[in-house]
């Protein structure tokens, strides 16, 4: 029974990894450019240039994430530098009217990232037990 459970777990784990690695930089770049085109009102020339910049960024980011020899902190530092470089290149292509809108996109991306980076507060086991007991008592009282 244990062997069966381990085998099924291994298969599910490998499937999860397989789907996680199906990231296509070209599709992600197209999606990003499409979103930015609607927000920033990019011209066709700008779309082509921005697509090349974003595609280069996505490929480099994927390569960094795939590198298992580096520590997570080093990867995050490199990705941050890549993103800053991409933002600089994109800003150079934009008109004066588009730049504030792009700055808003960058701010939203940073806010989204900071939300992801916040770690959940881990409570000691005793506090967790107390909370569970309180929840159970509340449920019992509601049932009465």
Q: What is the pLDDT along the chain (144 residues), one digit of tens a residue?
A: 767 655 666 666 665 655 555 569 999 999 999 999 999 999 999 999 999 999 999 999 999 999 888 888 899 999 999 999 999 999 999 999 999 999 999 999 989 888 877 755 555 556 666 777 777 776 666 665
Whole-prediction pTM value? 0.64
One DSSP character per residue, 13-82 reads HHHHHHHHT---HHHHHHHHHHHHHHHHT--HHHHHHHHHHHHHHHHHHHHHHH-TTS-HHHHHHHHHHH
Distance CA 29, CA 94 (A): 17
Looking at residue 48, its pLDDT comes to 95
Distance CA 115, CA 56 (A): 26
What six digits make up the tokens of 81? Answer: 């530098």
């Amino acid at each position: 029974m244990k062997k069966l459970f381990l085998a099924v777990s291994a298969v599910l784990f490998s499937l999860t990894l397989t789907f996680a690695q199906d990231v296509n930089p070209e599709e992600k770049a197209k999606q990003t450019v499409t979103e930015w085109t609607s927000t920033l009102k990019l011209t066709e020339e700008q779309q082509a240039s921005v697509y090349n910049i974003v595609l280069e960024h996505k490929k480099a980011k994927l390569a960094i994430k795939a590198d298992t020899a580096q520590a997570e902190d080093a990867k995050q530092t490199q990705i941050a530098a890549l993103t800053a470089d991409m933002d600089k290149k994109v800003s150079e292509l934009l008109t004066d009217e588009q730049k504030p809108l792009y700055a808003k996109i960058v701010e939203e991306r940073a806010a989204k990232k900071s939300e992801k980076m916040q770690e959940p507060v881990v409570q000691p086991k005793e506090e967790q037990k107390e909370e569970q007991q309180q929840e159970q008592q509340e449920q019992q009282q509601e049932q009465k």
